[in-house]
């Protein structure tokens, strides 16, 4: 039966590969549309423009000047709306600018409505510091004929003047901008917003009533509420060391219910020698995870980095041979773990690298997604990438380019109903994370409704590592578009030597203290309450599974039941009946 199943998978796979790759490397031209709303009129100014002078250009160009070698002019639409135009541009940064003062440790959110004079093109906002440092603080694909919202932000590492300007590489286009805003926030204000969002997004109000058998409300009943499972996936990467270390097993299983194998499902781990597959370690880790109720993200089917292929793939295979080998690979790994995983990172780092595109044609990634979904239709398929939210200056994986790639994959024949997910790795450096930019990215990528997971969160070694890890995790957890977080962190004995949660003796590091604190904070602790004169208790509970025990006020009768709190029910009602 197993052999027949594998053959069926192989036949389906080969049909898919040759149908969608064809036999040459030429590729069709893709048509894609951005998922950012395209509006006839620009959105109003956020925060009244914040610290921007003349944000709506109601006073001609007051506060603004031409930047670079281009020219600027005011323009008035047929409806009487005033906006600014950068034209006669000779360089990407030729636009218009305004100088503002930023204060150390404050977070600044930026927004503007943008348009270009024809076609469509990426437009970015750039913050130019007196030190010569230029920070690309956000971008969007702007189109002619409509206004698109460009969002971004910075965290000021020192008090300084800064010049805000716009950038587009296609110098033949004019840049049109309206309703510019730059709003400062203290860290305390930012944290307050996070807490408010967590309450709104991750919790629901629950009215619980205790009654007697005749439905009469029971006043003064003692009620115990205990959360048994969280609905939000918050997990940790896992590697092969867990198979041989009891301490690692106990540490992991006591904390996490979600994981990603860091290397053990990758092609170079499963097939070091062509034709000799070995899934022993991955199977063992899968067994451990199942025994401990741990869900697994599949990582990964393919890695687009040419340096991260099995040695025999890079050195010996022609394009035709690679086409066959990749068909066998996707068939092997996806069929083997079909129905046992909650996600697949089908393509890893598809924006920075193009190994398969160069060998097999521009439609390589789209065909892999189509095939993976056919082989494992119940599992979500992710595009997994780094620097999209953690490093604003990496243009290759900018939010605009990420969305462009995802739209190309989804527009490919057969992929319209792909269960797509957005995977943002989140490998932050040792410096202050740019939470304002991170939030703008999550806003932008979350707008179309695809689930976002932070898939490999880590923070570089530095004196504030634990603090910065907490800031990143809080920002992700508080955002409504984020539906899961996996950290690539762990014990030092397992080789996690950048963001380490426990030392050689499995004692917590400061980063480990942060993770344990957040696990406890994002779960409703045991509650001991008493019903009012109508038999009610009103509480706000994190989403998840619960057990409630109610006891009458003299301790003679009690009842226990389980219930679930979900995001689909912002106001839930639970009734417990006691036979008295």
CA dihedral 433, 435, 439, 440 (to 10 degrees): -80
Q: What is the pLDDT of residues 214-224, one digit of tens each?
A: 899 999 999 99
3-class DSSP assignment, residue 379: coil
Catalytic residue (choose from 390, 407, 456, 475): 456
Instruction: Report how far residue 375's alpha carbon sits from residue 398's, in angstroms, rounded to the nearest whole number.
Output: 30
Q: What is the pLDDT of residues 71-101, one digit of tens each?
A: 999 999 988 999 999 999 999 999 999 999 9
pLDDT > 90 in the chain, percent: 89
Check if the beta carbon of residue 395 is closer than 8 Å to that of residue 168.
Answer: no
pLDDT above 80 for 109: yes
- The dihedral region occupied by 316, where left means phi > 0, alpha psi between -120 and 50, and beta the remainder, is alpha
Check if the beta carbon of residue 118 is closer than 8 Å to that of residue 175.
Answer: no
Least confident interval from 21-35, 62-76, 99-113, 506-520: 21-35
Residues of the chain with CATH 2.60.120.260: 46-185
3-class DSSP assignment, residue 33: coil
Q: Model-level pTM greater than 0.95?
A: no
Peptide linkage before 161 cis (omega within 30 of 0): no
What CATH number was assigned to the domain covering residues 2-30+243-256+266-292+306-337+349-508? 3.20.20.80
pLDDT above 70 for 319: yes
Least confident interval from 37-46, 93-102, 223-232: 37-46
Instruction: Report how far residue 252's alpha carbon sits from residue 519's, in angstroms, rounded to the nearest whole number.
Output: 13
Instruction: Report how far residue 570's alpha carbon sits from residue 543's, in angstroms, rounded to the nearest whole number.
Output: 10
**Per-residue model confidence (pLDDT) at position 2:** 37
With respect to CATH, is domain 195-227+524-578 assigned 2.60.40.10? yes
Residues of the chain with CATH 3.20.20.80: 2-30+243-256+266-292+306-337+349-508
Q: What count of other Cβ atoms lies within 10 Å of the Cβ of residue 8?
A: 12
Architecture in CATH of 46-185: Sandwich (2.60)
Q: How many helices (H) and strands (E) does the chain have?
A: 13, 28
Q: Is 349 a catalytic residue?
A: yes
Q: Is 470 a catalytic residue?
A: no
Comparing CA positions, the residue from 526, 576, 572, 580 lying closest to residue 553 is 580
CA dihedral 186, 190, 193, 199 (to 10 degrees): -130
The stretch 341-360 carries a mean pLDDT of 97
* DSSP run (H or E) holding 410: helix 399-411
Residue 32: which pLDDT band, with cuts at 50, 70 and 90? very low
Burial level of 206, CB count in 10 A (0-12/13-18/19+)? Answer: buried
What lies within 8 Å, CB to CB, of 526 at 6+ separation is 224, 225, 226
Catalytic residue (choose from 121, 349, 385, 390): 349
DSSP 204-271: EEEEEEEEETTS-B-TT-EEEEEEEEESS-EEEEE-GGGGT-HHHHHHHHTT-SEEEESSTTSHHHH-
């Amino acid at each position: 039966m197993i052999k027949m199943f594998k053959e069926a998978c192989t036949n389906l796979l080969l049909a898919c590969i040759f149908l969608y790759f064809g036999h040459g490397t030429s590729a069709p031209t893709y048509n894609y549309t951005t998922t950012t709303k395209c509006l006839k009129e620009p959105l109003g100014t956020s925060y009244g423009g914040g610290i921007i002078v003349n944000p709506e250009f109601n006073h001609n160009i007051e506060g603004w000047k031409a930047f670079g070698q281009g020219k600027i002019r005011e323009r008035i639409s047929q409806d009487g709306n005033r906006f600014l135009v950068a034209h006669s541009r000779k360089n990407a940064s030729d636009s218009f600018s305004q100088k503002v003062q930023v204060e150390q440790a404050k977070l600044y959110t930026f927004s503007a409505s943008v348009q270009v004079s024809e076609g469509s093109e990426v437009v970015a906002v750039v913050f130019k510091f007196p030190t010569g440092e230029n920070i690309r603080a956000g971008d969007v694909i702007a189109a002619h004929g409509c206004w698109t919202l460009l969002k971004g932000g910075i965290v000021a590492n020192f008090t300084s003047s800064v010049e805000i300007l716009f950038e587009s590489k296609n110098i033949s286009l004019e840049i049109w901008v309206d309703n510019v805003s730059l709003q400062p926030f203290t860290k305390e204000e930012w944290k307050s917003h996070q807490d408010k969002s967590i309450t709104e997004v991750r919790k629901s109000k629950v009215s619980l009533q205790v009654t007697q058998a005749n439905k009469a409300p029971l006043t003064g009943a003692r009620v115990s509420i205990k959360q048994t499972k969280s609905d939000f996936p918050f997990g940790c990467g896992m590697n092969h060391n867990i198979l041989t270390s009891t301490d690692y097993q106990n540490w992991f299983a006591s904390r996490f219910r979600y994981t990603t194998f860091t290397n053990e499902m990758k092609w170079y781990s499963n097939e070091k020698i062509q034709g000799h597959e070995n899934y022993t370690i991955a199977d063992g880790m899968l067994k451990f995870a199942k025994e401990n109720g741990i869900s697994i993200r599949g990582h990964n089917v393919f890695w687009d980095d040419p340096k991260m292929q099995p040695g025999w793939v890079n050195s010996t295979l022609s394009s035709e041979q690679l086409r066959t080998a990749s068909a066998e690979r996707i068939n092997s790994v996806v069929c083997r773990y079909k129905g046992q995983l909650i996600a697949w990172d089908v393509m890893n780092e598809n924006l920075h690298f193009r190994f398969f595109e160069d060998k097999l044609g521009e439609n390589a990634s789209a065909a892999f997604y189509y095939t993976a979904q056919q082989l494992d239709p119940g599992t979500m398929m992710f595009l997994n990438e780094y620097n999209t939210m953690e490093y604003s200056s990496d243009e290759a994986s900018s939010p605009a380019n990420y969305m462009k790639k995802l739209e190309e994959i989804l527009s490919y024949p057969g992929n319209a109903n792909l269960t797509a997910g957005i995977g943002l790795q989140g490998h932050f450096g040792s410096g202050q994370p740019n939470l304002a930019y991170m939030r703008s990215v999550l806003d932008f990528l979350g707008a179309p409704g695809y689930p976002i997971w932070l898939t490999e969160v880590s923070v570089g070694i530095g004196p504030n590592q634990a603090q910065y890890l907490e800031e990143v995790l809080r920002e992700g957890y508080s955002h409504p578009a984020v539906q899961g977080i996996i950290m690539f962190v762990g014990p030092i004995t397992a080789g996690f030597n950048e963001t380490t949660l426990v030392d050689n003796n499995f004692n917590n590091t400061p980063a480990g203290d942060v993770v344990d604190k957040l696990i406890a904070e994002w779960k409703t602790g045991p509650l001991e309450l008493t019903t009012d004169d109508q038999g009610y208790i009103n509480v706000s509970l994190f989403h998840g599974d619960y057990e409630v025990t109610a006891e009458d006020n003299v301790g003679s009768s009690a009842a226990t039941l389980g219930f679930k709190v979900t995001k689909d029910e912002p106001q839930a009602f639970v009734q417990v009946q006691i036979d008295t």
